[in-house]
Amino acid sequence: MFPEDYHADTFVTISLISADKESTPDALAGLAASAALAVSDIPFNGPISEVRVARVNGQLVVNPTASQMKEADMDIIVAASMDNIMMVEGEMKEVSEAELLEAMKVAHEAIKIQCKAQIELAEAVKKIKREYSHEENDEELRDKVWKETYDKLTPLPKKPIPTNTSASMISAQ
């Protein structure tokens, strides 16, 4: 979801800490990461979000509780943008394709609401995205360096590591 020519190392780490045994907040990690990027100056083609959908007693539930999950016969996590579903993973007892598609649609509608909230948050923060420029590689210079230096490199001689010796003897060699 970053611009194709964006090469800056970028890490978003979510540390989920929860003492509530009834909530299942793991599916909200994508929302948290995307919201952090939305209010930063990092160029990002988001927003995205994730939700869990479970089928409990025949009803589709978005972000169900732990108690509801015990009764579920379908449990999927869906990640998506406003326009596209990007990832679906989960487990279920035998369900039809139509039932799975319906669960994905329910998830996507919930994700769209979360994406709209992130857009509103980003607009409220009004953070200007950083300017970046894609590096330009000088292929002529690369070829010249290769041609003028490669043949001058000599392989290191391989020294066998003796067997049945102690570590101190190996390090002394």
Instruction: Specify the number of domains making up the chain.
Output: 1
Band of the pLDDT at 173, cuts 50, 70, 90? Answer: very low
Q: What is the pLDDT of residues 158-172, one digit of tens each?
A: 777 666 655 544 444
Q: What is the pLDDT of residues 9-28, one digit of tens each?
A: 889 999 988 888 898 888 88
Q: What is the CATH number of the domain that holds 44?
A: 3.30.230.70
Q: What is the pLDDT of residues 33-68, one digit of tens each?
A: 999 999 999 999 999 999 999 999 999 999 999 999
CB contact at 8 A, 115 and 48: yes
User: What is the rounded CA–CA span in Å between residue 28 and residue 160?
Assistant: 53
Q: Tally the C-alpha atoms within 13 A of residue 116's C-alpha that lie toward its C-beta.
A: 6
Q: What is the mean pLDDT of residues 111-123?
A: 96
Cα-Cα-Cα-Cα torsion 114, 67, 14, 40, nearest 10 degrees, comes to 20
User: What is the rounded CA–CA span in Å between residue 104 and residue 80?
Assistant: 10
Q: What is the pLDDT of residues 118-136, one digit of tens each?
A: 999 999 998 888 877 777 7
pTM over 0.75: no
How many other CB atoms are there within 10 angstroms of residue 75's CB atom?
20
Residue 98: φ, ψ to 5°: -60, -40
* Range(s) of the domain holding residue 53: 1-173
The H or E element spanning position 139 is: helix 139-149
- DSSP string across 10-66: -----------SS--GGGGHHHHHHHHHHTSSS-----EEEEEEEEETTEEEES--H
CB contact at 8 A, 77 and 108: no
- pLDDT attached to residue 137: 77
